[in-house]
Structure formats: structure tokens, C-alpha cells
Structure 1
Amino acid sequence: MTEMTQSSASSRPLGSALRWLGQDFRVTLCLGYLLLLVAFSLLAPLITPHSPIEQTMDFLAPPDAAHWLGTDDLGRDVFARLVYGTPMSLYASCLAVAVGLSIGLPLGMLAGYLGGWFDSVVSRMIDTLLSFPGIVLAVAVTGALGIGLTNAMIAVGIVFAPNIARLIRIQTIVVKNELYVDASRSFGMSVPRIILRHIVPNAIQPVIVQVTLMLAGALLAEASLSFLGLGVQPPWPSWGQMLARGYTYMEIAPEQMYVPGIAILLTALAYNGLGESLRSRLDPTRRAR
């Protein structure tokens, strides 16, 4: 009987998620597109026979049977570079958000729960970092860490951290004043256990939504930094780098900008659509209705 009860309880979240996918076409479409990008990343050698870095004498060629999306200014297959650039872009966005969460989440939660001088120090740090334009701060941190995709995305994650810290701090302040948290304190529950058992589950929902929106921001930041030459270094492809090279030949071959630009646009829209669906799903007023 106990095993049946546990099995039933564990199947409820899965059933709820499947019902959500069936009811919300937007989240199904966005997740399907993102899963397709993951498949492209894993199966790149099977999807395209061309190398993303092999150069030929066929410069800026239009699409044909051999090169589905044409070739770039060095004779490299654009479709192959698009496919092989997919994991770079996905890795960049996930790394930036992971760095932002690892810094901002614990700092903001501790600041909101502990209060006092620690909250004041963290709040001043957040205000200081938020006073700088995001892309300028990312460029500055990338210059300090060194040029490269990983360093660039660590810089973007540092830029994201204050926003996450501010959001979770506010949520923690609200949750820690609830009666069930006061009851846990009165029974002698330790601070780490209170945070893990009560604060995190009840304060994390807005952060989950914010993360999906930041994935889109990280993707655009990677494109911007690669456009400036601070991200993925040649000859390896990324969508931002492809966009930068296409921009150079915009007047004679404008189609070179369309492919990476549309890929960036669709992926950012998928992240944003997923975030909006999560916001609606996690909205307590909507669930109450």
C-alpha cells in the first residue's frame, strides 16, 4: 500500500506537466523547438556532411543542392556553421544563467533572511552593479578575465547576478514573515533547514520565470560579445560570430545575416515564450481561479 501511495504521488507532477503541455500550445511549441536545437547539437555530424571550418574557393555562393544555405566569405558551408554553432549558443546561455544563479541566489536569499548589516552590504553591492549598463560591465569583466566564450559568459553571469539577488531577496523577506516560518523557528529548526524546507520552495517561483527570460538575454549577450570579437574565436562558429561576419558583407550578400539572425530571434522567442507560460502556470491568483 505504501509503495502504491508513493507511486501515485510521484506520478502526479508528471501527469500535471503532461496536461499543461496538452493545454498550452505555446509551451509545447517552444519546448519542441528547444529540443530540436539540442538534437542538432548532439547529431551535428549526422545532419550535415560538411565541416564548419573547411574553406573552399566557392565564396559567398547562393544556396544550392550542395550547400543548402550557401557559403560564407571564406567558402565555408553556412548550414554546417549554423548547426555546429548551435551547441555554442546553447552552452553560452546556460552557462551565463548558471553563473548568475550560483552567485545571486545564495547572496539574495541570505540577505533577505538574515537582514541587518549583511542585508545592507549586499543591497549596496546590488545597487552598485545595477548602476552600470549591462553590456558595458560584461565587456569590462571579459577584458579582465580574457577573451573567449566561457569567460564572456561568466562575465554575463556576473551581470545577471544582481537581478537574481534582488528578486530572491524580496521574495525571501515576504516568505520569512509567514506564520509557518515563525512556527519552525519556535520549534528550534536550524536556519539552513528553514531556508531549504520553507524559504526556497515558496520563494523560487519568480526566479524560475526570470531564469527563462535571462536565457534569452544571455543568448543575445553572446551574440553581442561575439559580434565584438570577445566570444567564440575563429575558426569555430557561433551565431553571433556568423552575424558579425555577415554584417561585413551586408551590401553584396545580405542573406549572410538572415540565417544567424533568424536563428537568434527564434531561440530568444522560444525562451521568452517558455518564460511567459511558466509565469502564467506559477501565478497563484491564476491557480486560485
Structure 2
Amino acid sequence: MRQAAARPTGIRRLLAWLRSDLRAALSLAFLASLVLLALAAPLIAPYAVEAQDLDNTLAAPSAAHLLGTDDLGRDVFSRMLHGAASTLYASVLAVGIAVVLGVPVGLLAGYRGGWVDDGISRFIDALLSFPSIVLAIAVTGALGIGLTNGMISVGIVFSPQLARLVRARALVVRQDLYVDASRCFGASTARILWRHVLPNTVQPVIVQVTLLLAAALLAEASLSFLGLGIQPPAPSWGSMLARAYQNMELAPEQMYAPGMAILLTALAFNTLGESLRVALDPTTKR
């Protein structure tokens, strides 16, 4: 009975944290609603993504078209719902690539030190010296134009940030006594990294991941705006913003929906990351 009662402790802690931090609760609720809308888009979208009405182009919002129509007569609301899935997929893919590439490199550099750390650190510094969007465009040009290739390039660009963060934390953790004890008992480097170093470096990574999700969202919008991300006729918020920009003088209201969606989602990711930073920071505990 005691074990059964102790199981939901993690859930109770999560709920208590959300009750004590209104901005985290609102951000999480907004992101969860966005995911549900993206999954349910085929069911709730009033029009097909590619359905055109050339007699009703750049229409203002109305009962028939809640957010109006674009320059090809396509329903903006329907494309916003379907574009949410592409935009969220792009953000998660980019950050996933960054985690897979950056975390192991940072762990190795911080734990081994010496010439290994020097070589990896110089390479990381070289990558960080380039403007991120310029480097992403260069990598996208090498991989090929498309949403997946574009976000892989963004993940490669983001990986040095995570690597440097993990390296800094691993430099501290490797000096702890339990790491020395594991090394004396003959534990392999891989086991020490997996069982001892990684668990004690994961907290700042979690916070940084939420911040990178917002940055990846903006990077997807930038690449799609430049025509290097998702390709027509598939929708994403960045590509919709780019198309609306071309008709800004005729129908400026076309920019409001994708622009506000990008802004609010990036703000939700950033706010959630800040709340996690405060919650996981031991110096803020009372």
C-alpha cells in the first residue's frame, strides 16, 4: 500500500510546481493545446490545405473564413492548423539533432580534458564564431532544400551550444568523489559517463532545450521565409508569413495570424524554460 501511495509522488510534485508557477502552467497549457490542435487538424480544419478559391483571394476574415484567405484563395485558418504540425515537427527535430550531437561531445570533452578537450573546444569556438542563420543556410545548401534537411542543419548549428554547456558541467562533476570512486573500482569511461556524469549534467540541458525549441521555431520561420524550408504547397507558419509579406500592401492582416502564432509559441517555450531554470536551480530553494 505504501508503494502504491508513493507512485504518484512525481505527478504531485509536477502539479504543485504548476500551481506555484502560473506562467509555467499557462505556457505548458498553451503548448499542449497547440499539439492537440496540430494532431486534430485533419478533423477540425474547415477546408483542405490545397483548396483554392480564385474568386475570393485575399479576403478579409469572415464567418466563412475565420482568418481570411491568401493570395490563392486558400483558407488561412485551415493552413494555420495544418502548419502547426510542420512547425512543431521542425522545432523538435532540430533540437533532437542538437542533443544527439552536442551532449556526447560535451561529455567527452569535459570528462577527458587535456588535448581532447582543447581540440573539441577549439572546434566548438570556430562553429560559434559564425552567425547561426548564415551557417544554417550554408548547411542547408549542402544537404538540399527541404524542411527536414533545413532543420537538420539548424540542429547541427545548435549542437555547439549544448556541447559547451555540457562540457562546463562535466568539468565540475568529474572532480567529485563518487566519480573517483567509480574509476578506482574499475568502471569504464562509458559507464562513468552514463551512470554518474550525465545524470548530474542533465538539469541545465533540460532548460537549454526549452530555449532552443523557441530558437528552432524562429529558425524554421526564417528558412521558410527565404524559401529554404518547407516547400509549397505544404504549409508552415514561416512560409505563410513569407507569402503574406509579399502581399503586405494589399492585405496586411494576412501577416497577423502566422506572426502572432510564431511569437506566442516562442514566448511559451522561453517562459517555460525560464520557469524550469528557476525550479531546478538549487540556489533558489527556500
Q: TM-score range by the shorter chain?
A: over 0.9
For residues 36-185 of structure 1, the aligned pairs below 5 Å read 36-57=33-54, 58-185=56-183
How far, CA to CA, are the matches of 2:235 and 2:118 in structure 1? 44
Alpha-carbon separation, structure 2, partners of 1:12 and 1:186: 35
Residues 197-227 of structure 1, C-alpha deviations (whole Å, 9 max, x = no match): 2111111111110000000000000000000
Letter in 2 for 1:248: Q
Letter in 2 for 1:240: G
Helix, strand or coil: the match of 2:50?
coil
1:117 Cα deviation from its structure 2 partner: 2.1
Distance 1:29 1:183 in 2: 44
The alignment's TM-score, normalised by the length of structure 2, stands at: 0.97
Taking the aligned partners of 1:270 and 1:53, their CA distance within structure 2 comes to 29
Moved over 4 A (4+): none
Q: Secondary structure at the match of 2:8?
A: helix
One-letter identity of the residue aligned with 2:269: Y
Q: Give the distance between the partners of 2:4 and 2:97, measured in 1 at CA.
A: 35
User: Which of 243, 252, 255 is the matching residue for 2:253?
Assistant: 255
Pairwise CA distance, 1:11: 2.5
Structure 2 unaligned segments of length 5 or more: list them.
none
Amino acid across the alignment from 2:41: A
Q: CA RMSD in A?
A: 1.1
Q: 1:22 aligns with which of 19, 22, 32?
A: 19
Partner of 2:269: 271
Distance 2:92 2:57 in 1: 34
Report which stretch shifted further, 199-208 or 149-158.
199-208
For 1:73 and 1:34, the matched residues in 2 are separated by 29
Residues 154-205 of structure 1: per-residue CA shift (max 9 Å, x gap): 0000000000000000000001101221122222222222212211111111
Partner SS for 1:74 = coil
Query: 3-state SS of the aligned residue for 1:273?
Result: helix
Give the whole-Å Cα distance in 2 for the aligned partners of 1:130 and 1:91: 25
| 1:216 aligned partner | 214
Instruction: Report the identity percentage.
Output: 63
Spell out, residue by residue over 1:93-138, the C-alpha distance to the aligned partner (whole angstroms, 9 max, x if none): 0000000010000011011101122212211110110111000000
1:62 aligned counterpart, secondary structure: coil
Change (3 A) 1:7 1:189: farther
Of residues 18, 28, 31 in structure 1, which corresponds to 2:28? 31
Q: How much does 1:9 deviate?
A: 4.6
Specify the code of the residue in structure 1 equivalent to 2:157. Answer: V
The answer for unaligned runs of 5 or more in structure 1 is none
- 1:1-26, Cα deviation, whole Å (9 max, x unpaired): xxx45445542222111111111111
2:227 corresponds to which residue?
Answer: 229
> Number of paired residues?
285
